[in-house]
Structure 1
Amino acid sequence: MYEAALHHIRVNGAADYATLPHHNLETHSGHSVSVAKDPRGSRLLQKKINEGTPQEICKILKELKYHLHELINHPFGHFVIQKLFQSSNISVAQKNALVYLIIVDLQKLKNVCMDDQGNRVIQQILANVKEPSMIHKIAVIMRSISLALMKNFNGGYVIQQCLKLFPPVCQNIILDVVAKNCVDIAKDKCGCCSIQKCIEYDELPAFMQLVNKLIFNAVDLAEDSYGNYVMQFLVKRKKMEVNSMLISRLRYRYIRLSKNKYASNVVEELLRYSGADNVAVIARELMKSPEFLNLVQHPYGNYVVQRAVKYTEGPLHERLCSIILSNEKKVSSCLYGKMVLLCARAGCNQ
């Protein structure tokens, strides 16, 4: 599908973008390129872009067009590239031609998106592209590098910009890739932050595909040093249907998860954000386990028990506090047990 779309761009691009002939990507050293890299020259060139004649603009574009990626990453050249997209002196067709030349080379596009400065320039370029057909072409191209960008600190911002600016059909093109690779992304140091931004797009069809994949792999992700943050973020969205699905998926593993350094945080948030009925499912499983008293005294598990005491209600809450307090001698021998006892006493006085 991607190859066909790229072929369509290449075949039809020559007619659509005749204002900038691009026979092949040969090196073309022009005066404007060296000027753009000079501090003073960059300012002069930006002024010329705003005030120049159509003939002068065409000459500048002809000289710059094969050096776009290089200039995007340059300390002074990037100002010239931004000016090309901001200036009303550059036609929509000319801007589209420049966009095409930037996105058609995937490796160079990926490199600029991952660059500290380049990603900011690409974001500004995206903000200045208005033509629906070009936006769709960008989405199709971005689809093939979305996984790499999601796992990169700078690249993640480019994906976020696409999701922020693009119409739903184009958002789904990108979010579909994120959903299919969500486990790989969520377990990555940068990816776990990027994917949390994607979870906010809960009105898109691809959102449920993403959620279903995350929930299917919930145990693996909850116990992961980065994946657990994704699961916590999902829970904190307070989508009761989603939290119910997640609680169901994790059933009969709550003792194990509560003793895990990372997964215990996920269980705590489920108790906090899932409503009384769902909290009861987790609390009953913990209380019925022969390992419950060990959990009360566990470095991580004790926090889960405290959260269960806080968010259970009615007879279940009373029963939970009663079990803890009736085993005071057994659990008061360690600091964690004492903390749970204090919580249970406070719960009885509510």
Structure 2
Amino acid sequence: DQHGSRFIQQKLETANSDEKERLFREIQPNAIQLMTDVFGNYVIQKFFEHGDQNQKKILANKMKGRVLDLSLQMYGCRVVQKALEHILNDQQASLVRELEKDVLRCVKDQNGNHVIQKAIERCDAKDISFVFQAFTGQIQHLSVHTYGCRVIQRCLENCEDLTRKAILAELHDCMPTLIGDSFGNYVAQHVVEYGFVLDRQRVLELVLKGLEGYSKHKFASNVVEKCLTHSAETWKHDVIDVIVRNNQREGESMLLGLIRDNYGNYVIQKLLDLLSQQDFDCFTDVLQPELAKAKRTGCGKQVAAIEKRMQRPYDQNLLAHPTAFGSRTVSQNTTPPPPPLTADQRSLQTSSVGSVNGDALEGAASSRKGSIEHVVPTVYEG
């Protein structure tokens, strides 16, 4: 009963030990049934939160032999997660060991994946080593899976260094595919945010090579924005350099194309949010005439959003901005930038964005492809 369940939950939060024990004796015979009940599961969860160690142990013991079934059930999976949050380490190990032969089944299940995520977050690495063994050779497949991508993200956040390095090694082999995938792009973003310095560098180099095409892609543009957020000023400066160099080409400039594009304009907005004041001033000088062109082609909404980002209060602590990107003046608190990269230091070629995996989100628009500028990789510190 919904109201009865809520009443019991509220009472458990403030009940004394005797009151909790009386209630526990009432529910104990039907604990398994309550774990899978739409309302009863919340009462069991509350006992894992507010019960004593003996009560938690009794409930955990009742789950033995049923962990897989509970993990795959809509309400039972919530109880398993709550148990992993509040029981002792040896009890955690005992429960998760029941999933050893069904790790991939759980990962791909709409309910079971949450249990695997919680195990990765809460259990000692030695107790869930079988989970990572099951992932070996499966990282790409899981990264583009509706639920698997979530589990790989938890691995990147929580795993020990050796395990993370093994996962990252497999991810780099398929990174172009992940960047353009409806689910894989989230994993690629996590590599940028949680990977080691060299892992981040590899993604930054890949994104810079394909900057225009990725920026215009529904899913890859998310990765571009994440790179802007988690990169040093030197990489953002190189992004501007690529855009400016392609502003003089025949036909539509790269910058105008990004302004007009449904996804590219968000990349421009993010860039404006994150640039240093000096680069911001220089970039807006280049941006203004392209915005005027975009207005004349019926892109008022995109232009308005970008112009809003351009209303940044000027930082009085910075010296007067330079007249070109290659000759920046820096404040005393700013690390001097590296020498500018000129066009003769970079080779240009054309390719296309990796195709989006067929597991696209329901109703997703078709992926858009654009030309990609190839730039000789530079080492960036994130």
TM-score w.r.t. structure 1 length? 0.61
Alpha carbons 2:143, 2:178 under 8 Å: kept = yes
- Number of the residue aligned with 2:73: 115
Does the C-alpha gap of structure 1 residues 286 and 169 become closer, same or farther in structure 2, counting only changes over 3 Å? farther
- Number of the residue aligned with 2:338: none
Larger Rg: 1
Q: Does 1:265 align with 2:232?
A: no
Does the C-alpha gap of structure 1 residues 343 and 177 become closer, same or farther in structure 2, counting only changes over 3 Å? farther
- Number of the residue aligned with 1:284: 241
Partner amino acid, structure 1, of 2:268: V
- Number of the residue aligned with 1:175: 132
Partner amino acid, structure 2, of 1:325: Q
Secondary structure, in 3 states, of the residue corresponding to 1:206? helix
Alignment map for 1:116-155 (pairs within 5 Å): 116-123=74-81, 132=90, 141-155=98-112
Partner amino acid, structure 1, of 2:126: V
Q: Does 1:223 align with 2:180?
A: yes
Alpha carbons 1:296, 1:340 under 8 Å: kept = no
Length, aligned pairs only:
284
Displacement over 6 Å in runs of 4+: 68-72, 74-80, 89-92
Secondary structure, in 3 states, of the residue corresponding to 1:145? helix
- Deviation, structure 1 residue 249: 3.0
- Deviation, structure 1 residue 267: 0.8
- Deviation, structure 1 residue 346: 4.0
- Number of the residue aligned with 1:324: 287
Alpha carbons 1:186, 1:226 under 8 Å: kept = yes
Does the C-alpha gap of structure 1 residues 256 and 198 become closer, same or farther in structure 2, counting only changes over 3 Å? same
Partner amino acid, structure 1, of 2:300: L
Does the C-alpha gap of structure 1 residues 335 and 211 become closer, same or farther in structure 2, counting only changes over 3 Å? farther
With 252-261 and 180-189 compared, the bigger mean Cα shift is at 180-189
Q: Does 1:306 align with 2:269?
A: yes
Partner amino acid, structure 1, of 2:73: D
- Number of the residue aligned with 2:162: 205
Partner amino acid, structure 2, of 1:115: Q
Alpha carbons 1:268, 1:307 under 8 Å: kept = yes
Distance 2:120 2:216 in 1: 37
With 140-149 and 123-132 compared, the bigger mean Cα shift is at 123-132
- Deviation, structure 1 residue 257: 0.8
Secondary structure, in 3 states, of the residue corresponding to 1:157? helix
Distance 1:77 1:313 in 2: 54
Distance 2:310 2:92 in 1: 60
Deviation string for 1:98-151 (max 9, x for gaps)?
A: 776446xxxxx2x3311023223444665687575x866765553432222122
State the identity as a percent: 20
Secondary structure, in 3 states, of the residue corresponding to 1:225? coil
Partner amino acid, structure 2, of 1:252: K
- Number of the residue aligned with 2:213: 256
Distance 2:129 2:176 in 1: 26
- Deviation, structure 1 residue 259: 0.5
Distance 1:220 1:266 in 2: 12
Alpha carbons 1:231, 1:266 under 8 Å: kept = yes
Partner amino acid, structure 2, of 1:335: G
Distance 1:47 1:69 in 2: 14
Alpha carbons 2:120, 2:154 under 8 Å: kept = no
Unaligned runs of 5+ in 1: 1-42, 51-59, 104-108
| Cα-Cα RMSD | 4.6
- Deviation, structure 1 residue 304: 0.9
